[in-house]
Structure 1
Amino acid sequence: MVYAERYSSASDSPPAGVAEPISLSRVQTRLSEAQDYRTQLTLQGQLIPWHDLEIKALETGIVTNLFKTEGDQVNADESLLQLSDEGRSARLAQATALLELRRSELAGAQTLKQRQLISDTELSRVRNELKLAENIFIEAQLSIDHSLPKAPFNGILARRFVEPGELVQKGTRLFQLVAIDKLRAQAQVPQQQVGQLRLGQQVTITLLDGSVLTGILSFISPTADSATRSYLIEAEVQNPNFLPLSGASASLQVHLESIPAHAISPALLKLDKRGKLGVYAVRENLVTFYPVAIADTNDNVAWVTGLPRQVELITLGAGFVNPDQFVTVTREGAE
């Protein structure tokens, strides 16, 4: 009990040995212990294909055969269409014959050189002609190969841009090929929060229809966007059933590292005289104000950091006390 002397007037003398008790404010408290809480960073983003490529013509010709069309699944190195020959086969035959001739000439020249019947200069000329023939042959072979455009990776043909009988030039778009067995979930992260991210963190992706996918954080941009000062991130998402999700908007929840936090009622959060957010607690019957940071919140619970591992929170009466004030404490549940 705290006592203080009280006098009725300046002329009164205090009775010897008598002190009057001061009534202390009463508060109700609850003992709170920190728990390991895994925070989440929620971002808005979208899903895109793992690979997305427009296949273009590398040779001029007429589309004579369509082996694949929109919606077809294709394998890497599988031919998609065929262009008209346009003399390519004849040029390859000529290049093949020339290559065989130059090889034969080199073999003969090497034999003559061993007999000292030709000069080094003549031998070098024959070798150079063989190299030129090899280059001509490679170009002719590539021209044949390019008349049968192939898929560079496993995927699905999302678009077809040409029709049978159509004349195409070099650079004409033929197909759009996408790989969606895996997807990329992309989002932009504010520069204040990018430091919380680590490659390999779990990511939950929620689509507009409520569907939920899981992924792994696979990319964090090393530089910020010059306009928004935000960082691009990507999560790798498996899509083994080839669901048509590419281009869909999505909400990304990145599961961050666990931190010690207290679960409290949002009603316990107060502002001190300087406008700092915190909670009131007692320590040895003395009121203490602890500034806190909110890690996460919903309608019923606020997860806060900045408190000791164990703390006696004031649950009733905090509005009638001040820091450094002694109080009478009743703990919740105590009789």
Structure 2
Amino acid sequence: MNDEPESGRRAAMKFSDDPGASRATWVAAFLIVVLTAWFASGLVWPSEAPETEQDGNVQAPITVAVRDSTAEMITEFFVAEGQAVADRDTTIHAETSGDILDVAFDKGDTVSAGDVIGRFDPGHRTAELDRAQAEVERAEREFQNAETLFARGTATEDRVTEARTALAAARAQRAAAEQAIEDTMIRAPFDGRLEDVFVDPGEFFSAGAEVARVVDLEPLTVRARVPQQSLRSLTEGQAATVRFITGETREGIVRFVGASADPATRTFLLEIEVENEDGAIPAGVSTEVSIATGEVAAHFISPAILSLSEDGTLGLKTASDDNAVQFHEVSILRAESEGVWVAGLPDTARIITIGQGFVRPDDTIDPRPDNGAQLAETASGPIQ
């Protein structure tokens, strides 16, 4: 226990007793004065405000890259998807009823017009023809006798007329019997390929039943649909290139352009005739049709620089002579591996290739030649 008197204790030290305390106070006060003066300087001497469109001033030009482009004359093509179809495709129907006697061709065989594909058993039809032939011979003798007697004056003119009528009836009956025999023959209606044969020897078929199907692939017909806006550029007789999905490419001629639109699609039928003498191209395969429709001035560009207007119109932005942005509506004419050909630009144009996303029509720009290098960032942001 400390017995030292209370008055003799050492007094506790305070921060104000430190000799450097007053110096820190003056430093803090000085900093407050400096900061206050710096904030107030903006009120006394305001800095120049950037020019903005709200003040009615022109915004600082935005740096963009441009490339000079000159239009070239290229061939414009109408291109459409199509399908190859047989020039003629016919199902043969039985002309009579009866049993099939024999079949001369198999499915897949090539036939010529008039070839007998198969026959019905003629049966009683042969006997009918023999009877009709005998009746014709008898009627001919009667007619000759009537004419002889009439010439001698021993027969009347009515007898000659009756004999002539009987002869005509006999000949008609013979013709019907001959046709009945002909109807037993199943003949090819034209040159082609037997796509199917539905009959076998011994089978019974009724008149009107399907017995065979013949297709004609020479020439081949390619059908496509034409939209309304392309109809005027197509005429009969134009040359066409047809690429088949099987890999072949053939030249053809436009044979038919429809004059009445399909009510459902508002498109018109287009038919192209393609030579197919070897029969290598089957009917039904998909095709791509390409028809040259004329020449047009076009620019070759990268599709990456195409833009859309506020209403969704496809176009390109260019720099005018006074360095203002212009928007031109364009249409793509042809696509290639390295770019696309577009129409709608002037013959010569300064196309904005970098920075088109940062500018709008009528904006003032600072165009720089596009040398393939990335431009530096501008006050409005990086050019992309």
Q: TM-score range by the shorter chain?
A: 0.7 to 0.9
Partner residue in 1 for 2:224: 187
Percent sequence identity is 28
Alpha carbons 2:80, 2:226 under 8 Å: kept? no
**Letter matched to residue 258 of structure 1:** G
Question: Hey, what's the Cα distance between the residues in 2 that align with 1:161 and 1:275?
Answer: 58
Equivalent residue for 1:19?
A: none
Q: Is the 8 A contact 2:74 2:295 kept in 1?
A: yes
Q: Does 1:170 align with 2:207?
A: yes
> Is residue 346 of structure 2 the alignment partner of residue 308 of structure 1?
yes
- Please state if 1:258 is matched with 2:269: no
Cα-to-partner distance string for 1:144-180 (whole Å, 9 max, x where unaligned): 1122221111122222211112222212222222222
**Aligned residues of 2:76 and 2:333 also touching (Cα < 8 A):** no
Say yes or no: does 1:225 pair with 2:262. yes
Q: How does 1:198-277 map to 2 (within 5 A)?
A: 198-199=235-236, 200-207=238-245, 209-243=246-280, 245-248=282-285, 250-260=286-296, 261-277=298-314
Q: Distance in 1 between matches of 2:369 and 2:153?
A: 112
1:38 partner amino acid: E
**Matches of 2:300 and 2:155 in 1, distance apart?**
94
Alignment deviations for residues 204-257 of structure 1 (CA, whole Å, 9 cap, x no partner)? 2331x5444443332333323344433333322322222362233x13223241
After superposition, the Cα gap between the structure-2 partners of 1:275 and 1:98, relative to the gap in structure 1 and judged at 3 Å, is same
CA contact (8 A) 2:251 2:274 kept: yes
- 1:85-111 deviation line (CA, Å, top 9, x unaligned): 212222222222323333444444455
1:147–1:283 distance in 2 versus 1, CA, 3 Å: same
Q: Deviations over 1:94-145 (max 9, x none)?
A: 2223233334444444555566766665544444333322321221111111
Moved more, 76-85 or 94-103: 94-103
Question: Normalising by the residue count of structure 2, what TM-score does the alignment of the two structures yield?
Answer: 0.69
TM-score computed with the length of structure 1 as normaliser = 0.78
Q: Does 1:49 align with 2:83?
A: no
8 A contact 1:58–1:171 mirrored in 2:
yes
Residue of structure 1 in register with 2:335 after alignment:
297
Question: SS at 1:136's partner residue?
Answer: helix
Point out which structure has higher relative CO (alpha carbons under 8 A, 6+ apart). 1
Counterparts of 1:41 and 1:259, CA distance in 2: 15
Offset, 1:202 = 0.3
* Cross-structure match for 1:58: 95
CA contact (8 A) 1:285 1:327 kept: no
Number of the residue aligned with 2:70: 32
Gaps (5+ residues) in structure 1? 1-7, 10-21
Partners of 2:323 and 2:367 within 8 A in 1: no
Tell me, what secondary structure is at the counterpart of 1:89?
helix
SS class of match (1:80): strand
Indicate which of 88, 109, 128 corresponds to 1:91.
128
Q: Which amino acid aligns with 2:68?
A: R
- Contact 1:53 1:176 survives alignment (8 Å): yes
Q: Deviations over 1:247-270 (max 9, x none)?
A: 33x132232413312221212222
SS in 2 for 1:142: helix
The verdict on how the C-alpha distance between 1:252 and 1:126 changes in structure 2, with shifts beyond 3 A counting, is farther
Maintained 8 Å contact 2:86/2:283: yes
In structure 1, give the amino acid aligned to 2:211.
Answer: L
Which amino acid in structure 2 is aligned with residue 254 of structure 1?
Answer: S
Between the aligned partners of 1:262 and 1:123, the Cα distance in structure 2 is 91
Closer/same/farther in 2, CA of residues 86 and 33 from structure 1, 3 Å limit: same
CA change 1:280–1:227 in 2 (3 A) is closer
Counterpart of 2:16 in structure 1 is none
- Which residue among 170, 174, 181 is the counterpart of 1:133? 170
Please say if residues 196 and 256 of structure 1, whose CA atoms lie closer than 8 Å, have aligned partners that are also in contact: no
AA paired with 1:180? L
Correspondence for 1:150 among 167, 175, 187: 187
> Does the CA contact (< 8 Å) of 1:32 and 1:313 recur in 2?
no
Structure 1 ranges of 4+ moved more than 6 A: none
Greater C-alpha radius of gyration: 2
Structure 2: how far apart are the matches of 1:108 and 1:222?
65
Q: Check 1:330–1:205 CA distance in 2 against 1; reply closer, same or farther (3 A cut).
A: same
CA distance in 2, matches of 1:284, 1:111: 110
Provide the residue aligned with 1:4 in structure 2: none
